Amino acid sequence: MRSKNSKRILKASNQIDSLSHAYRHSQVLFAAFESGLLEFLATQEKLQIQDISDALKLSEKGLWRLLTALCALKITEKKGTFFILSDNFRTLFNPNSDKYLGGMIAHEIHLQKRWLQLSESLRNGLPVKKSEKPGSLQDTKRFINAMADLGRRSSTEVIKKIKLKGHEHILDLGGGPGAYVKAFCDHYSDVKITLFDQQDTIRFAKKKLNSHSGFKRMFFKEGDLLTETYGNNFDVIFISNVIHIFGKDDILTILNKCNMALKPSGRLWIKDFFINKRQTGPEFSALFSLHMLLSTADGNCYTISEIKDLLQKSGFNPGQKIKLKNKSKMLEGIKSSVLRKVK
């Protein structure tokens, strides 16, 4: 009996050990990225330590330790006297690859400063003061690049799961860099799609999209999604990773506006990180709720039934629920009654 108990305590203490050290893993990744090492290894062949330290202006002593840690984490490998990135990582750190994740890592490096202030946010229940003016261009660019990396990764799966006839007009609300706009246009040769977002974001999105063969079918609308109208006669509205930024009153305002922008029987797809009914997980959503505490006035991760309730209040019947890879779910809303005024 006692030995069973002590095994359980040992397991718990190992778990705490791992959690307390977890930041070291992130720091190794961040330093390897910030120093340029990961991109260098991803784009060059046959590198010895001396070549790397000269090119990146790193001390050999520090570089050895970093590469040893990266080998232990199975991100790099040592082949004789050469260092290489392990299989699969080369494509993730090559800036010319469509699987590149550098934008996402740069964003996380920035966010960790926010997480260091978690205790203060827990005390006052407020988001932390940001180091840059909210909405500064640098801030927007870093954020948008991260969204582009993540959007590219999940857009193929999302587009396959939202079944369209192929000639609809879609509104991508808070569409960011336009990863989903591009994916919809790639998949359907006759859809039209409008990307709605804030002014600076639209500027970045246009730059990313203007060489696409379907650019003529892409439309752009700038504004604040809480105050602006979205247009009308859309067949489908897609809202990915937007509702978690807002509290329930604001989400209701957004859904009411969606109702008014859709044709009768139009459909809405909400993609987000949902929390389970008992509010105990999944782990990614639970931690993301804390991230929203640090970053927004009222944002949160919601349960499916909380969002179904808001859909019903804004004239939608909840439809399909789809589980996606990459920690998200999608919930469909089918317009059932016509709202004439936003409450």
Ligand X SMILES: C[S@@+](CC[C@H](N)C(=O)[O-])C[C@H]1O[C@@H](n2cnc3c(N)ncnc32)[C@H](O)[C@@H]1O
Interface with ligand X (CB under 6 A): 147, 150-151, 174-176, 179, 197-198, 201, 224-226, 240-242, 245
Nearer to ligand X, 145 or 314 (CB): 145
C-alpha 235/C-alpha 145 separation (Å) is 29
From the CB of 134, what's the least distance to ligand X, in Å? 11
From the CB of 309, what's the least distance to ligand X, in Å? 22
Token pair, residue 6, equals 């002590």
From the CB of 123, what's the least distance to ligand X, in Å? 26
Category of 315 on φ-ψ map: left (φ > 0), alpha (ψ -120 to 50) or beta: left
Contact 258, 231 (CB under 8 A): no
Nearer to ligand X, 297 or 338 (CB): 297
Query: At which residue do the structure tokens 């089918």 appear?
Result: 334
Quick one: how far is CA 203 from the chain centroid? Answer: 19
Nearer to ligand X, 198 or 289 (CB): 198
C-alpha 109/C-alpha 114 separation (Å) is 10
C-alpha 54/C-alpha 37 separation (Å) is 12
Nearer to ligand X, 204 or 316 (CB): 204
**Pairing label, strands 82-85, 76-79:** antiparallel
From the CB of 55, what's the least distance to ligand X, in Å? 34
Token pair, residue 132, equals 């840059």
From the CB of 151, what's the least distance to ligand X, in Å? 4
From the CB of 86, what's the least distance to ligand X, in Å? 28
Nearer to ligand X, 92 or 150 (CB): 150
Nearer to ligand X, 47 or 286 (CB): 286
From the CB of 296, what's the least distance to ligand X, in Å? 9
From the CB of 96, what's the least distance to ligand X, in Å? 21
Query: At a CB cut-off of 8 Å and minimum separation 6, what does 3 contact?
Result: none
Please return the burial class of 67, using the count of CB atoms within 10 Å of its CB with bins 0-12, 13-18 and 19+: buried
Nearer to ligand X, 83 or 274 (CB): 274
From the CB of 323, what's the least distance to ligand X, in Å? 17
Among the listed residues 305, 301, 311, the one whose alpha carbon sits nearest the alpha carbon of residue 335: 311
Nearer to ligand X, 147 or 251 (CB): 147
Nearer to ligand X, 217 or 257 (CB): 257
Token pair, residue 193, equals 């799609």
* Sign of the Cα pseudo-torsion (194, 195, 200, 206, in order): negative
C-alpha 27/C-alpha 65 separation (Å) is 13
* CA 130 vs CA 82, 106, 113, 133, 143: distances in Å: 42, 16, 9, 7, 13
Q: What is the dihedral of CA 189, 203, 201, 100, to 10 degrees?
A: 70
Write the secondary structure of 139-161 as one string of H (helix), E (strand) and C (coil). HHHHHHHHHHHHHHHHHHHHHHH
